[in-house]
């Protein structure tokens, strides 16, 4: 029996290219700049598996239950609130979040961002097209592992060199801007 790698390779390539520079990757870069790299990576990968991986396996049944514009509004508001809290919170010195806190923060944000996202739709469509959800799942998760690893590496190694106050302001602005973009997208499609 010959193993067909087309679903795996196609899924890997499409998801990798779709996520490169995407808001989810930016989120993992920002979160890993001041949090545990391992907890950010594991939180993001858990969210990707639950949202995108299970979508590929289940064919999008869960997605059909959630109105996309409501999810977009909730995600946008969450981003704005996180950005404002981060901007207004006073911190003493350079401290890392506890691993559990950064895992759940990353998991929550990435899960919300992925609901109804192009990569979730792509996972569903690829699984339907190839009629091989397991190989699609493997390709999707390999792509997310690579892109998330790159993001976490950038955040944990490079952004930690930036002075705290500039990083705090920059991170907050990015989160707030993403929040407004997500709200605008939700309102314009709803």
DSSP string for the chain: -----HHHHHHHHHHHHHHTT-HHHHHHHHHHTTS-HHHHHHHHHHHHIIIIIHHHHHTTTTGGGS-HHHHHHHHHHHHHHHHHHHHH----SS-PPPHHHHHHHHHHHHHHHHTT-HHHHHHHHHHHHHT-HHHHHHHHHHHHHHHHHHHHHIIIIIGGGS-HHHHHHHHHHHHHHHHHHHHHHHHHH-
Residue 48 lies in a domain: yes
pTM of the model: 0.72
What does the pLDDT average to over 166-182? Answer: 78
pLDDT digits (tens, 9 = 90+) for 67-125: 667 766 776 777 687 778 767 776 554 445 566 778 888 998 898 888 877 888 888 88
Residue 154 lies in a domain: yes
Place of tokens 């899960």: 111
Residue 177 lies in a domain: no
Domain containing 36 equals: 7-69+98-162
Residue 47 lies in a domain: yes
What does the pLDDT average to over 23-34? Answer: 85
The residues near 117 (Cβ < 8 Å, ≥ 6 apart) are: 24
Residue 180 lies in a domain: no
What does the pLDDT average to over 141-151? Answer: 95
pLDDT value of residue 140: 93
Residue 181 lies in a domain: no
Total count of domains within the chain: 1
């Amino acid at each position: 029996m010959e193993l067909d790698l087309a679903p795996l390779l196609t899924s890997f390539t499409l998801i990798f290219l779709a996520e490169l520079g995407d808001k989810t990757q930016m989120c993992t870069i920002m979160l890993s700049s001041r949090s545990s790299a391992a907890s950010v990576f594991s939180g993001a990968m858990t969210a990707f598996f639950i949202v995108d991986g299970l979508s590929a396996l289940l064919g999008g049944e869960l997605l059909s239950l959630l109105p996309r514009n409501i999810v977009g509004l909730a995600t946008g508001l969450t981003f704005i609130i996180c950005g404002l809290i981060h901007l207004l919170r006073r911190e003493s010195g350079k401290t890392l979040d506890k691993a559990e806190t950064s895992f759940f923060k990353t998991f929550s944000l990435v899960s919300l961002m992925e609901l109804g996202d192009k990569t979730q739709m792509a996972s569903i469509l690829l699984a339907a097209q190839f009629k091989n959800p397991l190989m699609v799942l493997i390709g999707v998760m390999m792509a997310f592992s690579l892109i998330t690893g790159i993001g976490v590496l950038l955040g944990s190694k490079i952004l930690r060199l930036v002075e705290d106050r500039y990083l705090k302001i920059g991170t907050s602005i990015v989160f707030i801007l993403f929040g407004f973009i997500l709200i605008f997208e939700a309102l314009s499609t709803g």
